[in-house]
Amino acid sequence: MARLNPQQTSSSTFATHTSTRAEKSPQDKPSTCEHTTSFIPGAVGIVGLGLIGGSFAKALCQDAQKLYLFNRNQEVMKQACADCHALALDNESISKCELIILAAYPHANETWLEQHADKISPDALVIDTGGVKRTTCKRCFALARNYPWEFIGCHPMAGTQYSGFAHARANMFHHAPMVVVFPDLYSSRQQEQLCLRLQKLLESCKFGSYRCTNAQFHDQQIAYTSQLAHVVSNAYVKSPAAQAHKGFSAGSYKDLTRVARLNADMWTELFLANKDNLSHEISLMISHLQQYKDALDTADEHMLHRLLAEGDALKKKAEQS
């Protein structure tokens, strides 16, 4: 598997990464001049009202010109509309949205967009919030080329170990990074213009930064920074010792086990959609753990000290970069 390194993507607040993959340019899209924009400026529609979609709804409800919500569970839908003073996102109101946020699971996001693409207003923005980007961006970029609206792949780097609308918070995204993925052949200027527009529409979410990358690098990094952490945490609590931890555990146990509690349905879909990158990271982890085990089994004090010092140094280096 060809892997990108950190030097192949920029780290500024708004940065772009270009590639040679064959994507059609924005000029190949239907012109918005040939269609009448129907959205209400500032109106937002949200599909999926779990932890992330619900947090968007709670953050945006005070500032959005209009807020429209959709969730398959009608009890959640009713509660969210009441809490956020919102209306239902349906076939009639879709065209009123300047921004549509797809906050369900990745496959459900893709399916919803395919089923409702012809109802979205010209010049509207559509974003997803999924934790993997290659499959979603490939499918949704291709779809968006046939319509006069824009699709942008997004991943808000925020969340908790809990799921569902009941745990959504209006301040979930305060100071958090938002990772943004555009079609590769969009120019830096086009990307910046769209990103500035997105920032304005999401202003009340108070994201700390917007970082542009590509889907491949996003999925490589997320396999390490998020998915591997969930696998390790989930595997760690399978030790029989976990059931007797009370009275013997402190901060390190709490930190390492926090995300062992997870939504198995969602993470199964995310892991399988990024299986190559995640499997690679798990292999590296197994290799490193084996080194520690070998040093212990052979009572190799020098090797064990070297491994520990090496990890300490790499952690300090990562924090400084």
Query: The whole model's pTM is what?
Result: 0.87
The reply to whether 141 and 202 lie within a common domain is: yes
Please choose, from the candidates 6, 2, 23, 1, the residue with its C-alpha nearest in 3D space to the C-alpha of residue 218: 6
**Same structural domain, 224 and 183:** no
Q: Do residues 190 and 124 both lie within one domain? A: yes
Say if residue 274 is in the same domain as residue 230.
yes
Tell me, yes or no, whether 157 and 294 share the same domain. no
Distance CA 168, CA 160 (A): 9
The answer to whether residue 28 is domain-embedded is no
Average pLDDT taken over every residue of the chain: 91
Q: List the structure tokens of 230.
A: 């969930």
Residues 143 and 263 in one domain: no
The CATH number of the domain where 268 resides is what?
1.10.3660
pLDDT digits (tens, 9 = 90+) for 184-217: 889 999 999 999 999 999 999 999 999 999 999 9
Positive or negative torsion for Cα 31, 15, 220, 6: positive
Q: Is 100 part of a structural domain of the chain? A: yes
CB-based burial of residue 176 (10 Å sphere; 0-12 exposed, 13-18 middle, 19+ buried)? middle
- Residue 267 lies in domain: 220-237+255-320
Residues 223-233 have a mean pLDDT of 98
**pLDDT of res. 34:** 58
Pair (161, 304) in one structural domain:
no
Whether residue 5 is contained in a domain is answered as no
pLDDT of amino acid 64: 67
Are both 191 and 278 inside the same structural domain?
no
**Interatomic CA distance for residues 21 and 283, integer angstroms:** 28
Whether 169 and 225 map to the same domain: the answer is no
Q: pLDDT tens across 286-315, in order?
A: 999 999 999 999 999 999 999 999 999 999
- Is the separation of the CB atoms in 112 and 89 below 8 Å? no
Residue 156 within any structural domain of the chain = yes
Q: Are residues 129 and 172 in the same domain?
A: yes
Contacts of 142 (CB under 8 A, 6+ apart): none
pLDDT value at position 65? 74
**Residues 225 and 163 reside in one and the same domain:** no
Number of domains in the chain: 2
In a domain, 69, yes or no: yes
| Whether residues 202 and 287 fall in one domain | no
